[in-house]
Amino acid sequence: MKVNSILHRILDFFKTNYIVIGVGSLLWLIIRSGTKPSRFSYPCQRVAANNSIFFLSSLALPYIIRQIKPLRFRIRKEFAIPPLIVLLIITFIIFFKTKQDNKYPVAPGFVSFEISEKVSSDPNPSSIFIVKNFPNPSGVYHTGLDSLFSLMAVHGIYFYKSTKLLPWCDTSGLIAKDDVVLIKVNAEWPERGMTNTDILKGLIGRIVAHPDTFVGEVCLVENGQWRFSWAYPLNNAEDSTQSMQVVMDYFANQGYRVSGYNWTAIGYGGNNRWVSEYEQGDTNHGYVREDSSGMTYAKFKTVYGTRISTRLGIWHDSIYDNAHLKFINVPVLKSHSLMGVTASIKHYIGFLSYAAIGSGAMHNRVINDGLLGVEMGKARFPDLNIIDATWVSAEITTGPGAPTNLCTRLNTVLASKDPVAVDYIAGGRVLRPVSWWQGHPWLNNYGRHDPDNLNTENPGSGRNYSDSTPCFGFPYNAFHQYLVSTYNQLQQRGYPVTMDTNQMNIFLFQFPGPGKKEKPESKNPSNLNQLEIEPNPFASQTTIRIKGNLIAPFNIKIFDNQGTLVKSIQLISKSHDAFITQWDGTNSFGKRLPNGTYLVRLECDNSIIQKKIILSKN
């Protein structure tokens, strides 16, 4: 009896609350939507609409019908039927409007945008490197990323720190063979909201393929705050099952020191741990904070036992090694409902812990005080920013979540040492031209993506800006404001950043068209004398020479007799009348290949030529 009584009470409780929720949702829907049906697309309106449909169809309508019978002698039928019809019409309108708005249109397939190269006359310009329309990635290496590194090398920024006379190598290079490389990724969001794992795989692949044999370590890092995962069911990649964990395991299983560290576990909510530095005798993992500036940064130990202070470097018992700690910032380019644009700077919110100031205050301090400029300037300035624009969330209301079916394919990647300059170009010249708003075909070149926008209006959360787009409680030009405040903080600390296009170089490499998967079979042009290989056969090393009017960068690919790609070399610099490189008979991981016949293939623009080569070591 007690059990039945309890069950009845629970049922009565839910019945009462369903009525309260239903009535409240219906009132909210009517008052909040008002004369603007477009507001049905807001998430809160969809929830209210679903609650209203349930209330009207399951509770209100059946109740009214039941009451008509006892009242049949007091209410004439012609007075009872019209209200029922009106109620049914309201229910169906809400139902079909909600269904219609939930049928998201599929974003444009492959979209291009116009951008031109420019060379600054400023003596100390910031250089932005852009590769457009790269082929859809396949395999370990990423053609777009490789082309980016080649483009950078042409203009004096080398990926590898090495004395070897090879492409991408220089004593001033970024990555040494024994560096610990932290790669800041976006692992807060699934689908297209996260860093593309094909780019991530290509980046790690190039790090561990260091020409001097990589003996260092690679660690992915992220503070996803309220959500985090290395292994989402749907990921941002050609193969949506390729999670960040899959990528890390791929390299770790080959013996490379590749792992990830979840900063969320030491820097969010109840998990947050405030700690002191190693030099102060504190060996615990957590976040170090400086209250005067708001700066916070992680201090942690990787799975391989490496102790790292992201501000001071690698801890070796009594001393920090800052020179061998490298930080590569790899955001995904997307619209952001609060801040306008997510790129290199906004991505740094996953660097800090906001436990001391709270989420709301954090975003306001990013805009008004340049908090992320403080993080970059005092804690860790990125050695390189690589912006993933393979797929961008250009639909203005869905970022930062970026569901797959609402993202636009650009097959573009950008890079710069200057996070302010590259964000200025990425937001204004890449994301803004392809921006759109579902159900509103008139919208283009969205003003919130404009890095120079001076419109400070903020009508408040749940209202609309003057261009009718939804406001979530932040200024219309939040992107512009946080660029300026970040710029000011970094300038004060002596970092060469700029928002002035007259102080920017834009270097561009553009593939001829939309990316397609590479195919081993292709036509040969008639002029085979462009590709020379000597000696052939060879035992230890052979020279590959390419003559002709070719424009770098371009690929030399080497396949075994089964058609498997074993080596990929990008040529970027010309010696006299030819491009020259050497091959020592090893694969991309530096392992010696067996004797046999291999195919050397030259790829440049739409032309492909290939020749056989024989490896015959003693």
Full DSSP string of 119-139: ---SSSPEEEEEEESPPPP-S
| 316-374 per-position pLDDT tens digit | 999 999 999 999 999 999 999 999 999 999 999 999 998 878 777 889 999 999 999 99
Provide the pLDDT confidence category of residue 483 given band limits of 50, 70 and 90: very high
Higher-pLDDT residue of 96 and 536 is 536
Higher-pLDDT residue of 188 and 3 is 188
The pLDDT score that the predictor gives to residue 472 is 94
**The pLDDT of residue 419 is above 60:** yes
| 99-145 per-position pLDDT tens digit | 444 433 445 566 778 999 999 999 999 999 999 999 998 889 999 99
CB 526 within 8 A of CB 603: no
Mean pLDDT, residues 497-512: 93
The pLDDT score that the predictor gives to residue 389 is 97
Alpha carbon distance 147, 387 (integer Å): 14
| 433-458 per-position pLDDT tens digit | 999 998 898 888 999 999 999 999 99
272: which 2 tokens? 């947050």
> Could you tell me where the DSSP H helices lie in 242-341?
244-252, 264-267
Concatenating the DSSP letter of every residue in 464-505 gives: B-TTS-B--SS-TTHHHHHHHHHHHHHHHTT------GGGEE
Whole-Å CA distances, 176 to 293, 302, 591 = 32, 19, 19
Per-residue b or e along 303-317, where b marks 16 or more CB atoms closer than 10 Å to that residue's CB: eeebbbbbbbbbbee
**The pLDDT of residue 394 is above 80:** yes
Mean pLDDT, residues 579-591: 82
pTM over 0.75: no
Residue 521 identity (one-letter amino acid): E
Helix orientation angle between 77-102 and 43-54, rounded to the nearest 10 degrees: 140
What are the residue boundaries of the structural domains of the chain, listed by start? 2-102, 126-510, 528-615
| 14-44 per-position pLDDT tens digit | 445 556 666 666 676 666 555 444 454 444 5
| 146-203 per-position pLDDT tens digit | 999 989 988 899 999 999 888 789 999 999 999 999 999 999 999 999 999 999 999 9
* Percent of residues, the chain, with pLDDT higher than 90: 55
The pLDDT score that the predictor gives to residue 137 is 87
CATH architecture for segment(s) 528-615: Sandwich (2.60)
The pLDDT score that the predictor gives to residue 563 is 73
